[in-house]
Structure 1
Amino acid sequence: MTHAELIFVPSPGMGHLIPMVGMAKLLVDRDPRLSVTVLIMRLLFDFDVDSYTNSLATTGAAARIRFVHLPRENANTVISSGNFRTHFIESNMPLVKQAVAKIADSAGSTRRLAGFVLDMFCTTMLDLADEFGVPSYIFFPSSAAFLGMMLHLQSLQDEHNVDVAEFKDAAGELDIPSFMNPLPAKVLPSVVLMKEAIGPFLEHARRMRAAAGIVVNTFDELEPHAIRSLAGLGAPVVYPVGPILNLKGEIKKKANSGGDDIMEWLDGQSPSSVVFLCFGSMGSFGEDQVKEMACALERSGQPFLWSLRRPSPKGKVEIPRDYMDPAEVLPRGFLDRTAGFGKVIGWAPQIAVLGHPAIGGYVSGCGWNSTLESIWFGVAMATWPLYSEQQLNSFELVVELGLATEVRMDYRRDFKMETNAVVMADEIEGVIRKLMREVGGERWRKVKEMSEKSRKALVEGGPSYLSLSRFIEDIFNNMP
């Protein structure tokens, strides 16, 4: 029996690594002939990777998923530049080449190098796959609608000479084939609106077209229109295999974030009564905004669980950390006054929280992983996007799919650009009340229905199950 070895190259960042490892698990669980080596490029400030990969060493899939941690690159590039990720990945290409050469040399007659599976931001490594004479597949950890937007904007620039960066100052709307509704320019990802970043970003879309296929972390019933649009946008074969979720374990636990008593506190709350506020691995707010959020929560009287993180120092991009004492940024006496109905924590065990019956609503940054988790557990969202493609996800959830309400769809807080305005307490309070009033209502039922569809997609005979089968078949058919 011929065994196929796949090389997975995730982009740095837990939001890219976790779903890609989830994809690797799906593959090795489905077919005993497949094994995966994950090559990990390490940022200087990304401290969670080791604990995450170590936690996987005890799982059943460990025998056929191997992690190779590449030497840590001391990248001198200014991290706030729009091209940081591109430069960082290119600086790691020689290390990736060396690692793959070792794997290829050690492969015997029964184990063959079958191809590369590359993160959406690692497309420059298609050239390496060509050097090794194997096909490349792209793993796209975000939505099919976002993939369609990338392909469309790239063709606008290449075929119609449109300067996409000019959309930054546009107040109008764009017709993008992967969206049913006109897309406001103000919800385009920050990277699209920066002149120095748009070139490398669209180059990824250009290169994706040359891949043997694109694996997308979505499912047919969530994004039927977007998935259907991709063939007309010139995408290669697309495999919607999601939702890929890290359901069997959180990355870490922190004693100072409340630890196990988070779940104990939730156990004491009524079903569907708690609003959960959590904004992803890089999500944080300035002190003025934190105070407005606190005021809104207190006035609403709604039971709440709030994951509050300390922002990175000005001018630096680091993963937000927990406050030693959150009282330093909260209104005086807030913790005492809300002790009877609210809980402020640091890092949150997000999957465990979303799966708890006490959670009735989720104020979310709308990262795609968080979005899929929320849908899986049937929790309605209020979208408050901060960075990356979250504004686009917010638009899709609120306008395209009708699965969420919004706090402020065009809000931004990332190292590329930032919203100047503070969302005031009255506005936040109104959204929280609306979100929690809807428990049991039409939107709530719609989210519950989509939750059922997300689960059915993965079972034998479901659309994502069958799509993964097609992908495995193509891996062996395309293997040199």
Structure 2
Amino acid sequence: MASPPLSEPAKPHALLIPYPAQGHVNPFLKLAKALHARGFHVTFVHTEYNHGRLLRARGAGAFDVAGAEGLRFETIPDGLPPSGLDATQDIWALCEATRRTGPAAVRALVERLDRTDGVPPVSCVVADGAMGYAVHVAKEMGLPAYLFFTHSACGFVAYLNFDQLVMRGYVPFKDESCFTNGYLDTPVDWMGGMLPGARLRDLPTFIRTTDPDDTMLTIIIKQCELDAPVADGILLNTFDDLERRALDATRARLPNTFTVGPLGPDVYPPSYLPSLTSSLWRDDERCAAWLDGSGFGAASVVYVNFGSITVVTSEQMDEFAWGLAASGCPFLWVVRPDMVRDGGAAGSGWALPEGFAEAVGARGLTVGWCDQEAVLEHPATGGFLSHCGWNSTLESLRAGVPLLCWPFFSEQVTNARYACVEWGVGLEMPRDVGRAQVEAAVRELMAADDGRGAAARRRAAEWKEKAKAAVAPGGSSRDNLERFVQEIASRAAASAKSGRVL
């Protein structure tokens, strides 16, 4: 049973601070809706850059939603030079800049909110794991603080062991030859919580560096060794049945870990604030109509989307295009405006190859962005060619759609390995894939016979039911969410009673 709305005098005020990338903002907004529906006042923090992108994509109404009283949006700077681009910022530069400039910005925001008429004082902070500096600010101000790591538990276990990879001499790599000489196949069977048989190549790609002072390696170790242990608790957007081994290892180090996923309409009332979205690109509204009227049959369409960060060359895009065309399968392909970067230029003007439209005809639709959950939930969608970011992986499991895995970076390679080996829902494609391999892989995924694609489809259907059970009343994630709500409410009340230093 959901927690009852909290009484107005005791109404806690949760400050939510996501890392400013699409894949982090999405689950944070779902958490914001869940807390708001349970009687919390919620302040959701965008960076000034992303706030501007949302306004350009959706207009002033992006933050003006009927029924959203008590859910407000604020901004902080990200520490990078101003930019008017509608593109994902450089991850390395963004991580360094937010960690350097964020503490002062968050402190100033809390102080300003506490002076704002009609707004209850901030009573707890929920920050992204990649914005872990906020935990220390909150503690200095006498506030309860939690970290929400928006990636998989298996990815999180790998990150928790980055310090050991350094101490044991695996990382940094000795020289550039380690990228190609088989070193990436080195087993890491000592790493508790990981998939049996895990290798260096199955760990997040931030270990692939020869620099002992690598920015991402250093920051991730700080997040896990300095930030996470200070937090009052850890949230993960996953569920117990899916990642039990990794979660057992995580809870051995961080006992107060809540699994609250898959966050979505089953976790809060389905009709609650339906128009409030965090998409930094405008959805193409043709998708639903095309799927509805396609006439291709149930589970026949391949959905292709490499997420909000992946960048590829024009040559790679051409190979995917012709591979999709040759497969004979209907497809819906998302090509972001900033997805193709040749020579360092964003949005280099890649166009569909000459003759492609004629070869594909009405069985293909290419769009700039879409409502991914709606596409995956549509009965016509039968397979997902994906980069295996965690949101995409979890949403495919939730919809019961098998995966064709083409990971790009970070823990996407870890998710892809688990999808193919542990969960049985994925088929793996090589990194340097050509059109013939794309064609063959799509055909195999979508085949109706008893091959690997059909087996992945059956396993995906099983995981769909387990995901639904996790967020249903009495499910592990639903219970964890309610426990988290009650814990932060009680901590907030205790903090308010004792007073805090501003």
Query: TM tier, shorter chain?
Result: 0.7 to 0.9
Per-residue CA shift, 1:412-432, capped at 9, x if unaligned?
Answer: xxxxxxxxxx41122111111
Identity %: 27
1:462 to 470, 475, 496: 475
Give the Å deviation of 1:10. 1.0
1:291 aligned partner = 318
Separation in 2 of the partners of 1:124 and 1:177?
27
Matched, 1:9 2:24: no
Whether 1:181 aligns to 2:196 is: yes
Match of 2:304 among 250, 263, 277: 277
Residue equivalent to 1:230: 250
- Matched residues, number: 453
| 2:487 counterpart residue number | 474
Code of the residue aligned with 2:351 in structure 1: it is P
1:76-225 to structure 2, matched below 5 A, reads: 82-106=92-116, 111-157=120-166, 160=167, 162=169, 164-166=171-173, 169=179, 170-171=183-184, 172-175=186-189, 176-194=191-209, 195=211, 196-197=214-215, 198-206=217-225, 207-225=227-245
The structural deviation recorded for 1:71 is 4.7
Structure 1 counterpart of 2:162, one-letter code:
L
Deviation at 1:80, TM superposition (A): 5.2
- TM-score, length-scaled by structure 2: 0.82
Q: CA deviation at 1:89?
A: 3.7
State the alpha-carbon separation in 2 of the partners of residues 362 and 103 from structure 1.
Answer: 43
Residue equivalent to 1:418: none
2:351 aligned with 1:338, yes or no? no
Question: 1:38–1:258: structure 2 CA closer, same or farther, 3 Å change rule?
Answer: closer
* Aligned 1:374-389 pairs, distance under 5 A: 374-389=396-411
**Counterparts of 1:272 and 1:394, CA distance in 2:** 22
Give the drift of 1:240: 0.2
Partner of 1:407: 429
Matched with 1:372 is: 394
Q: Structure 1: where are the runs of 5+ without partners?
A: 412-421
Q: What secondary structure sits across from 1:339 in the alignment?
A: helix
Change (3 A) 1:81 1:468: closer
Aligned partners of 1:39 and 1:96 also within 8 Å: no
Determine helix, strand or coil for the equivalent of 2:48: coil
Give secondary structure in 1 for the equivalent of 2:161: helix
In the alignment, is the contact (CA less than 8 A) between 1:2 and 1:112 conserved in 2? no
The one of 351, 362, 367 aligned to 1:326: 351
CA contact (8 A) 1:283 1:309 kept: no
CA 1:296–1:314: 2 relative to 1, 3 Å: closer
What CA distance in whole angstroms lies between the structure 1 residues aligned with 2:16 and 2:291? 39
CA contact (8 A) 2:41 2:71 kept: yes
Contact 2:49-2:82 at 8 Å conserved across structures: no
Post-superposition offset of 1:363: 0.4
Quote the residue 1:417 is aligned against: none
Report how far residue 366 of structure 1 moved.
0.8
Which of the numbers 231, 251, 258 marks the counterpart of 1:239?
Answer: 258
Inter-partner Cα distance in structure 2 for 1:306 and 1:386 = 17
Would you say the 8 A contact 1:82–1:191 is kept in 2? no
- Partner SS state of residue 186, structure 1: helix
In the TM superposition, what is the alpha-carbon distance from 1:251 to its structure 2 partner? 5.2
TM-score w.r.t. length of structure 1: 0.85
In structure 2, C-alpha distance between the alignment counterparts of 1:76 and 1:161, rounded to whole Å: 41
> 1:6: how far off?
1.5
Q: Distance in 1 between matches of 2:400 and 2:82?
A: 43
User: Which shows bigger deviation, 51-60 or 286-295?
Assistant: 51-60
More deviation in 363-372 or 163-172?
163-172
Tell me if structure 1 keeps the 8 A contact 2:376–2:396: yes
Deviation at 1:50, TM superposition (A): 6.7
Residue 317 of structure 1: how far off its partner (Å)? 8.3
- The CA deviation at 1:120 is 0.8
Cα shift at 1:11: 0.9
CA drift at 1:245: 3.3
Determine helix, strand or coil for the equivalent of 1:139.
strand
Displacement after TM superposition at 1:404 (Å): 1.0
State the Cα distance separating 1:334 from its structure 2 match.
Answer: 1.3
**Cα distance in 2, alignment partners of residues 254 and 123 from structure 1:** 27
Amino acid at match of 1:337: A
After superposition, what is the alpha-carbon deviation per residue over 1:240-282, rounded to whole angstroms, capped at 9, x for unaligned? 0011137845656989x86326533542221111111111122
Query: Could you tell me which residue of structure 2 aligns to residue 35 of structure 1?
Result: 41
Whichever residue aligns with residue 174 of structure 1, its letter is V
Instruction: For 1:134 and 1:251, locate their aligned partners in 2 and report how far apart those are by CA, in whole Å.
Output: 27
Secondary structure, counterpart of 1:48 in structure 2: helix
Matched, 1:64 2:73: no
Instruction: Show structure 2 runs of 5+ residues with no match.
Output: 1-8, 84-88, 496-502
Cα separation, 2, equivalents of 1:25 and 1:193: 37
Instruction: Note the alpha carbon deviations across 1:285-335, whole angstroms, 9 max, x for none.
Output: 2121122222222222112222234535457586x69x6x833xx2x2111
Per-residue CA shift, 1:153-174, capped at 9, x if unaligned?
23454xx454532286423121
> Residues 92 and 315 of structure 1: is their aligned pair in 2 closer, same or farther, counting only changes over 3 Å?
farther
Residue matched to 2:333:
306
Query: Secondary structure of 2:396's match?
Result: helix
- d(CA) in 1 for partners of 2:485 and 2:248? 21
Q: What amino acid does structure 1 have at the position aligned with 2:25?
A: L
Aligned amino acid, residue 68 of structure 1: E
| Partner AA of 2:144 in structure 1 | P
Q: Is the 2:80–2:97 Cα contact (8 Å) retained in structure 1?
A: no
Deviation string, structure 1 residues 141-184 (Cα, Å, up to 9, x no partner): 11111111111223454xx4545322864231212222232222
Distance 1:82 1:56, change over 3 A: closer
SS in 1 for 2:418: helix
User: Which residue number corresponds to residue 396 of structure 1?
Assistant: 418
Matched AA of 2:134? M
Q: Which amino acid aligns with 2:64?
A: A
Q: Distance in 1 between matches of 2:310 and 2:419?
A: 19
Aligned-partner residue type, residue 66 of structure 1: R
